[in-house]
Structure 1
Amino acid sequence: MKKETSFSTKGQRADIGDLTIYRILANRYTDAVGPFVFLDHIVPKAHSSAMDSGTGAHPHRGIATLSYIIEGEGEHFDSAGNHAKVYSGGIQWMKAGNGILHDETLNVDSRTENNRTHAFQFWINLPAKNKAEKPEYLAVQSDEVPQKSLPNDSGWIKVIVGSYEDLNSNIPNYSAQFLYHIQVEAGKSFTISIAEKVEVAAFLPSTNSILNDVEFQVGEFIEFDRLAGEIMIENKSQEATDVILFGGEPYTEPIVAEGPFVMNSRSEIADAYRDFYAGKYGKINNQKGRV
């Protein structure tokens, strides 16, 4: 049985510097899909020269951030002393836990002549018991991301978070969760089964796609019902199509979000701000002077 669409929508502009960004989640219909409570799409864009577009140093608490760099070069600094770069196809994951400062920049890939950037940033809500844990950081390069070909030469699937068949991501799981990048070749199709009660949504970053017999437009976010069923991706165009598919088990604890903090109560939000202003999240020291 094919899953039914609950709703579809498009994001709101939230540009930073030279980057064109659409905020996809939260939206007017939902605040979360499984543990995912935030999604920004940094749309594909060519740049005439190297740039320095970043968020600047800022705090987080109660979540894990995940940046998936499809094209470009992502650089990370944080107040726990972590620093790394990931390149096209790589992932940066940071568990904010009980509080951290970080700074991320997105630039063109210095290893290649490709002058384009394209990326996603997700926030993954942590269970209450994990919100008080110490921060952690993990950089995953493109060749470390699990990937396999789809049947009948239909395309490929990358497992950014969670697992699919025999593929398992290196990103830690604190609840049942998944994040897949699926590419379906022209004239091909691919069907994936979703279990009962799992929350799941799709996003179309680059082209129109047909999902369960309905054509959706590039830039659309589509959420499906929670009954067990299938999602069929059909590509009737002349070029490959990409689908970002993500979700997981419902987050059953209270969600209170404000600014860069996602906690379980208003008092915990107040604590997060108080500890930040008291300097308890530490300090970033890096060569770019963002402190």
Structure 2
Amino acid sequence: MENQRVARNIAFIKTPRPHQGFLGPDHTARAVIQDEFVNSDPFILLMDDILDKKDNEPVGGPHPHAGFETVSLLLEGKVGDSAHMMKAGDFQIMTAGSGIVHTESIEEKSKMRLLQMWLNLPKTERWAKPRVQDLAFDKAPVLAENGAVIRLYSGSFAGLVSPVQNYVPLIVADIELRPGKSSTNALMNNYNAFLYVIDGTIEVGEDGQMLTANQIGWLNKPSDGGEGDLTLKAGNSGARVIMYAGEPQNDPIVPYGPFIADRPEEIKDLYSSFRHGEMLHVSALPEEQRISY
């Protein structure tokens, strides 16, 4: 007899508080994930940054990263530089790997909302050759049926497959449900996974726990191998959630400043490399290390 598939339900809920971001009073930030890697692996950090810039003074600028990947989903506005400008709905994975410098700048009045994650790299790929992958909003695979619209940016989900290349198996999906509509899809049981609500309310799993805007719901991890079922049902005003799911790498990391390493002495080497100008700016990467879909 075939085993009954288990449900992926909410294990616990967090409501990250907003605080002033590093860009000043026009910048509101929420630390969706922070300082919890022992449980959130492979997700190191996730910030929800909202900028309502009311002047033309430039903010942001160049800074280095190494030892991980940044995973960026722009929900509103524009951000970037002359090398590449992201627009609402665009997605980017930047493999910092052995070290890279990039620029996130806004030089005029602007409204912007950006979700940016730090994603762990497998230990064997910690110092991979840097690369940038850009997936435009209108190039992301989409499923629209029965009152649900699922736009997939990374991985495989709901019968969709993203073209983005991953070192760590990663699913990033933007899920919109019309009022009262539901959607059920398979999700690997061994993936750490969570839902972050952008708008509306949503009931999750067979027990229907509710999440509201700006809440994060971490899913349980059934002990069974294989896949479980994730069921989402929108509330009376509909819902929009971003789902992240990734395979844990089960290796400890050493985070410090803009870098991730395996040993403390590697952090010193990375700072030295940056100070001596040994890290390329993303705009100077060879063409084969910049991929647009």
Same fold by TM-score greater than 0.5: yes
CA distance in 2, matches of 1:283, 1:193: 39
Cα shift at 1:119: 2.0
Cα shift at 1:74: 1.8
Aligned ranges 1:151-230 → 2 under 5 Å: 152=146, 154-212=147-205, 213-227=208-222, 228-230=227-229
The amino acid across from 2:117 in the alignment is: F
- C-alpha deviations, 1:25-83, integer Å up to 9, x for none? 125x555634221111124x6666777443x2111001111221122112147xxxxx1
Cα shift at 1:19: 2.6
Unaligned ranges ≥5, structure 1: 78-82, 110-114, 287-291
Q: Tell me if the contact between 1:33 and 1:247 (Cα under 8 Å) persists in the aligned partners.
A: no
CA distance in 1, matches of 2:148, 2:78: 25
Q: Closer, same or farther in 2 for the Cα pair 1:67/1:50, shift >3 Å? A: farther
Unaligned ranges ≥5, structure 2: 1-5, 285-293
Aligned to 2:275: 277
Provide the secondary structure at the position in 2 that maps to 1:206: strand
The amino acid across from 1:225 in the alignment is: N
Q: Between Structure 1 and Structure 2, which shows a larger proportion of strand residues?
A: 2
- C-alpha deviations, 1:114-136, integer Å up to 9, x for none? x6422211112111222222211
Provide the secondary structure at the position in 2 that maps to 1:192: strand
State yes or no: 1:35 paired with 2:28: no
CA distance in 2, matches of 1:275, 1:5: 43
Q: Tell me if the contact between 1:57 and 1:284 (Cα under 8 Å) persists in the aligned partners.
A: no
CA distance in 2, matches of 1:76, 1:186: 38
Aligned length: 270
CA distance in 1, matches of 2:270, 2:137: 34
Q: Closer, same or farther in 2 for the Cα pair 1:142/1:172, shift >3 Å? A: same
The amino acid across from 1:192 in the alignment is: N
State yes or no: 1:148 paired with 2:143: yes
State yes or no: 1:69 paired with 2:77: no
CA distance in 1, matches of 2:283, 2:173: 34
State yes or no: 1:5 paired with 2:13: no
Q: In angstroms, what is the RMSD of aligned CA positions?
A: 2.7
Match of 1:127 among 122, 126, 136: 122
Aligned to 1:89: 89
CA distance in 1, matches of 2:131, 2:261: 18
CA distance in 2, matches of 1:189, 1:51: 45
Cα shift at 1:163: 1.7
CA distance in 1, matches of 2:140, 2:281: 31
With normalisation by structure 1, the TM-score equals 0.82
With normalisation by structure 2, the TM-score equals 0.82
Aligned to 1:242: 240
CA distance in 1, matches of 2:46, 2:218: 14
Aligned to 2:254: 256
Q: Tell me if the contact between 2:46 and 2:118 (Cα under 8 Å) persists in the aligned partners.
A: yes
Q: Closer, same or farther in 2 for the Cα pair 1:105/1:236, shift >3 Å? A: same
